[in-house]
Structure formats: C-alpha cells, structure tokens
Structure 1
Amino acid sequence: MAGSTKSLVKGSPAPGPVPDGSIRAYLMRFCPFAQRAKLVLVAKGIKHEVVFVNTLNKPDWFFEKSPFGLVPAIETSKGQLIYESAIVCDYLDEVFPGKKLTPEDPFQNAQQKMLLEHFSKASSLLFKIVGAKKNNEDTSAIKKEFLEKLIQFDQIVAKRNTPYIGGSSVSMADYMMWPIFERFGIFGVEDCLDKTPHLHQWYQLMLKDPAVQATITKPEVLEGFFKLYLQGNPESVDYGI
C-alpha cells in the first residue's frame, strides 16, 4: 500500500480535524483488513487522506478512534467514527456515490456474505500459521488443512460460473477476499492456487483491477515486513520507506 509518511506511534500527537469534503482513514500499510477499506476508497473514487498507525506501538489517542485498537477506522469531517473492516466498507459503499459494490438484491447480497463465511473457514487457518511461525513450530498440518478447505471453496466458486467470486463484475466480496490472497506468499501457501483452478483464474483477473493495482504491495516488501513482524519489531510496519 503506497505511502511514504512514517506511522504514528505512542506519544505522537493526534491529527487535527478532518477537512470538509474529505474522510480520514486510519490504516497500517501491511494489514489485509486495512487494505479492504483502501480498496473500497479507491474503487469508488472517494476523496480521503490516510493516517498510518503503528499497530505494534499504538498512540493512546488511537483507542478513541478505534476502541479495539484495530485498523481500519475512518473519521468524517463531522467527527463521526466507524471501525471494523466489514462495517467500514459497507458504510463507504452505502454513503458515497460511484460504483455500487454491494448487490442491491437482498438474496445476492446474502449470497456474497455466505461466500465470505465459506472463505473465512480457510483464511482463519492462515493466522494460525503466523502463530506457529512465531513459535518456530511446524506448519505442515495447518497448511494441509488450509489446502483442503481452499479446494472446497474453489468448488463452490466453480458452481457459480462467474468470472468474479461475487458475480459478473468486481464487487464487495472480491475486495474483501483479495488482501488475503495477495499475502499467500508470506503465509507460504502460494502453491495452493495451482490446485484451485477457478480461484487461480480469478486471482489473475483481480491483478488487472485498477483498485488492486493501486493498493498492491510488492511481494519482496511484504516478505521484508513479515520477517520483522514475526520478531515483534515495531519498525516492521514502516518497512521499505
């Protein structure tokens, strides 16, 4: 995710009011959940500014913006605060004009949410891999289970027979899932796409999406961040700048 300003840390002063006509996004460069919000902001062409927060050394005031201390959070010029990635993305899509990312049809909307639930059964295992790597534990069993669940998800996607996971064009479900796929390399599961042909085809299609291209992080930069992150190094969040 682009940006050259260093992340704000404990002791950093809080930013001032959000300018009229804009919105402020509190993000961390390498967080997949923060990237969800950034994808929606870019895809809809929403005027915004970004404040990067060091999630390993958070400013005290950040908990006033996001009570759980998590990114993303957004703040409006009226001082309204919204946090949690799915809630943030839904808010942005509902409030701002531009391309509608969430289906208007209630059933299609429910279908997308169900697809996200199916994918979460696989993606939750990736964060177990992170924990295992931090403890220098073997990850082969977790990776095997992940592949099994990803193959099941690939079969669900295949039955939909649409180019994008959410339908005939890119939509909210695609942007909610993409940041996890982008990080397959650091989780050590990139070879799983070779065994999930429909997801592999979707992955290649998403690489051409303008919002994805605007928010993607080079694999070598992700790798550099992840190595430092596993060590608990607070400088990891600003790797590469």
Structure 2
Amino acid sequence: MNSPQKSLAKGSPAPGPVPEGLIRLYSMRFCPFAQRARLVLAAKGIKHEVVNINLLSKPEWFLEKSPLGLVPSLETPDGKILYDSIIVCDYLDEVYPGNKLNPEDPFEKAQQKILLKCLHTVTSILYQILSAKKDNQHTTELKMQFFEEFKKLEEALSKKNTPYFGGESVSMIDYMMWPFFERFVAFDVQEFLENTPCIKAWDNLMLQDHAVMETYTEPDILFEFYELYLDDSVEAADYALDICSR
C-alpha cells in the first residue's frame, strides 16, 4: 500500500496525464464516498494512483475532473472522466477482471439497490447529526430517528440470514455500506451496534476483510478529523498525514 499523498488545494497545478496501465482516482482521505471506490480498487487488485483533493480549498482545475466538485472521480489514461461513488464502483467492477462484486442475478442486484436506498436514509440522518453538532444543538431526537432507520438494516440482514448483506461472502453492497460504519465513532452513534447483533457480527467480519484493512482509518484519527472539519479548517484534509505515512 502506498503512503497517502498530501492533498492538492487552490493554486496547485493539475496532474499530468494518467500513466498507461493505471487508472487515477481523485479522492479525499476521510471521505466515505471516496473510500467506497478505494475499497473496490483494493478488493479487485486494480492498479491505480490516488490524487487527494482538499475539498475545502479545491484546485481551480478540479471541476474539469469532477463537474460536481465532489469525490470520488475517475480518470482513465485516454482522459475519460467518471464521477459519483456508485457509478464509479459499478464501472470498476464491470470493466476490470477478477472477483465480481455485483451479483449476476438481476433480482439480487435489485435487492442490493433497495438496501442502498435504506442506507441513504440512514446516512442522511448521520449528516444531520454532524450538522447539529457543528451548531452545538442537541442530537437526542436525531439519534432516535437514526436508530429507527438503522433497525431496518438489522432486520434486512437478519431476514437474509447470511454473514454479509450480499450473502455468504463480501460483495458490492457491503463495500458501499462499510465507510459509514467505520465513522460511527465520529458521529457518536457507535452505541447502537450493541442493539443490532447481526450488524455487529457483520461489522466484526468486515474488519477482517483485506480491502477494509487496506483503507481503514483509526477511530481516534477520524474523530479528530471531524473536529477540524466542523471548524471548516482547510488543514483537516491532511490531518495526521505524517502518522498515516509511517
């Protein structure tokens, strides 16, 4: 695993062409959506390079690489651009050989998309909690809303009666979900895992997955990052870079 590189910010020159044989990921070390792409790249063993972007001080050229100004974004050696985490991950799974992460069965694939809709509701409340913390507001009611939606994921996994959301082994849906679970400690909702035994068991299994281990960020570093993020600090993107480079 290569050491993470300092993020490019306003005034930084644009990187050159993508080298042949590689694909370039525009990312940010702490972004859960970008981590989705990094998980898929790691899981499939795809040769790539990562260009980290400071999302609070974006380089002027970045909109050419990501029209929405968000990460992840992919760039191919012939200059093609793709963005949006789900689109990027589906593309990587379809184009590159090796272990297929999306199910072949259309019904199973549709079921995973339904789970993603449920996850979207859960993550939306997570970011409301984060926003409330930034404004020094109480989060008790939001946490109750979170748990009501979170229980639906527990029910889905219990009903499926498999170790993973995708079945007997890790699949795309598990990688799409994982980055948000990794950040539970930063969002102050870690306690809810104790009341969802199926998800807690899944969480423990995911921590043993090689792609998760390769992209994992320690909880204390995530917590400190979000403290800086809530203060709108442009230094947040490169927090603890020296530690993660060791």
Give the TM-score, by structure 1 length: 0.98
CA-to-aligned-CA distance 1:9-60 (integer Å, 9 cap, x gap): 0110000000011000000000000000000000000000000000010001
Report matched runs for 1:66-81 at 5 Å.
66-81=66-81
Report matched runs for 1:123-202 at 5 Å.
123-202=123-202
* Pairwise CA distance, 1:4: 3.6
* Pairwise CA distance, 1:166: 1.1
Tell me, in whole angstroms, the C-alpha distance in 1 between the residues paired with 2:2 and 2:188: 24
Partner SS for 1:26: strand
* Pairwise CA distance, 1:3: 3.5
Alignment gaps of 5+ in structure 2: 242-246
Q: Quote the residue 1:121 is aligned against.
A: 121
Q: Quote the residue 1:102 is aligned against.
A: 102
Tell me, in whole angstroms, the C-alpha distance in 1 between the residues paired with 2:78 and 2:215: 27
* Pairwise CA distance, 1:2: 6.9
Amino acid at match of 2:117: E
Q: Quote the residue 1:235 is aligned against.
A: 235
Partner SS for 1:116: helix
Amino acid at match of 1:98: G
Amino acid at match of 2:78: K
Cα–Cα, structure 1 residues 72 and 148, in superposed 2: closer, same or farther, change >3 Å?
Answer: same
Cα–Cα, structure 1 residues 127 and 113, in superposed 2: closer, same or farther, change >3 Å?
Answer: same
Amino acid at match of 1:166: G
Partner SS for 1:117: helix
Amino acid at match of 1:125: I
CA-to-aligned-CA distance 1:152-189 (integer Å, 9 cap, x gap): 22012100011101111100000000000000000000
Tell me, in whole angstroms, the C-alpha distance in 1 between the residues paired with 2:20 and 2:114: 37
Give RMSD over aligned pairs. Answer: 1.1
CA-to-aligned-CA distance 1:111-153 (integer Å, 9 cap, x gap): 1111111222222100001111111111111011101111122
Give the TM-score, by structure 2 length: 0.96
Q: Quote the residue 1:61 is aligned against.
A: 61
Partner SS for 2:36: helix
Alignment gaps of 5+ in structure 1: none
- Between the aligned residues of both structures, percent identity stands at 57
Tell me, in whole angstroms, the C-alpha distance in 1 between the residues paired with 2:43 and 2:153: 25
Amino acid at match of 1:68: L
Report matched runs for 1:16-31 at 5 Å.
16-31=16-31
Cα–Cα, structure 1 residues 110 and 210, in superposed 2: closer, same or farther, change >3 Å?
Answer: same
Partner SS for 2:3: coil
Report which stretch shifted further, 63-72 or 114-123. 114-123
Partner SS for 1:36: helix
- Alignment check: 8 A CA contact 1:2 1:215 kept: no
Residue-pair matches, total = 241
CA-to-aligned-CA distance 1:52-110 (integer Å, 9 cap, x gap): 00001000111000000000001000101000000000000000011000001111100
Q: Quote the residue 1:206 is aligned against.
A: 206
